[in-house]
Amino acid sequence: MRLENKVALITGAGSGIGRQAALLFAREGAAIAVADIAPEGAGETVRLVRAEGGRALYVQADVGRAADCERMVRAAEEAFGKLDVLFNNAGISHLDDGDAVSTEEEVWDLTIQVNLKGVFLGCKYGIPALRRAGGGAIINTASFVALLGAATPQLAYTASKGGVLALTRELAVVHAREKIRVNALCPGPLRTELLMKYLDTEEKRQRRLVHVPMGRFGEAIEIARAALFLASDESSYLTGAVFTVDGGITAAYVTPE
C-alpha cells in the first residue's frame, strides 16, 4: 500500500475532494484526521472510512483560526502518534465574489482568510509535526484560475489561489533539506457542489465546458488520485511543483464568450 503506516491530516474532508482523498488515502494504509468546519459531512467521511476498515477521527476546525489549526494538528499526533501528510484542501468560493468594483471588502477578507490564511496556518502548525516525524509531504489545493484569468470574475478566489501557489513555492525551497516536500494541486472545473452552485443550469455548464478540451467536468476522485501521488513516496523528488489536473483547460487557446 502506498501510504502504509502513514498519518494524514486532510482539511475540508467533509465533502468533495477532501472526502475522496480521505477514503483513498485510508485504502492505501493511512490513518486519517478529518478536519472540517461542518460536523455532519465530516462525521459521514469518518463513518465511510471506518466502514472500510480504516482508521479516522474528526476534528472540527475553522482553518482561518490559528487555535483550530493548532488543535487539529495536535489531535492527529495524539490519536495516531505522528503526522506524515498534510493536505491543506479546505476552501470556499463566495457567491458575491466578482470583480474589483463589485466585490465587497467582507467577501474579500473571508475568502482570503479561508483559502490563503488557512493554508498558512495549516503549515505553521503542521510543519513542526512533520519535522517531529522526520519529514513528510504537504499538498496545497490551489486552482487552474491561479494560472489563467477567469472569464467569469471571481477576484478574491483567484487572488487567494494565486497566493497559495506563491506560498507553496517558497515553503518548498525553505524546507527541502528537512525532507519536507510542498506541492500544489491545481484542479480544473469539477463536478462538485462548490462549482455547481454557480453553474446551476445546463446552459451555464455547457458554456464552461466549451473551454475544456476533454469536454467534461473533472470528478473529485480524479483530484484525490493526484493528491495520493503527491502524498506518497512515488513523488519523492518532487517539491515546489504545480500539479495541474484540469482536462487540458490551461493548455488551450480560447476566446471568452
Residues assigned a catalytic role: 157
End-to-end CA distance of the chain: 46
Residue that is written with C-alpha cell 492527529 in the block: 76
CB 63 within 8 A of CB 122: yes
